[in-house]
Each structure stands twice: as C-alpha cells, then as structure tokens.
Amino acid sequence: MVSPLYTELLTNVIDDLGEGTRVTVRVAPTVTGHTRVEVTDPDPRTLPVLTAATATDESGRGLALVGATALRWGVDQGTDRKTVWCELGPPSL
C-alpha cells in the first residue's frame, strides 16, 4: 500500500507547486517496525490541507486517503523546505 500514498503526496506537490518541482522521496523502516514515506519539496509555505470532498468533486480526497490508510501523517517545516510524511504498519499476511 506504499505506492498510492507516495503518489498522492507527489501529486500534491505537482498540483501546488507545478510540474518539474524538485522533490526528494524517501521510504524507510522506522525503529518501531513501521514504514515511513516522506516527500520533501522546496516550499515551506504551501502546506497540505485536509478537505472534505463532495461526491461530485473531481479532486480533494487524497489526504483523506492518506489519513485513512496511514497510522499517522504530518508535516515537518524547515526554513527552505517542507516534508510531508506518513507511517504505515507492517503488511498484513
């Protein structure tokens, strides 16, 4: 389930900052056995916003998907960047 989550985080960068924006994607295990997915972009001012999409909206469900699928998610802001991240539990068998 990692793929849909990082593509959603990447899509938010493209939608908010434009195609061609340099990003860093990192997928790594945590000390607690979870998987952390991070997408870092160069704009600390544009923060992701969880919205309530209606049945007819063509977009706006991505962070709700991340929130429903991930154990937790958040944003780390720096002076010259931000990292949007989420953590996933171990895969079920």
The 10s digit of each residue's pLDDT in 27-82 is: 999 998 899 999 999 999 988 888 888 888 777 788 888 988 899 999 999 999 99
Domain spans of the chain? 2-37+47-88
Q: In this model, does residue 1 exceed pLDDT 60?
A: no
**Whole-model pTM?**
0.86
Rounded to an integer, what distance in angstroms lies between the CA atom of residue 11 and that of residue 28?
A: 20
Q: 41 Cβ partners below 8 Å, 6+ apart?
A: 13, 17, 21, 22, 23, 81, 82
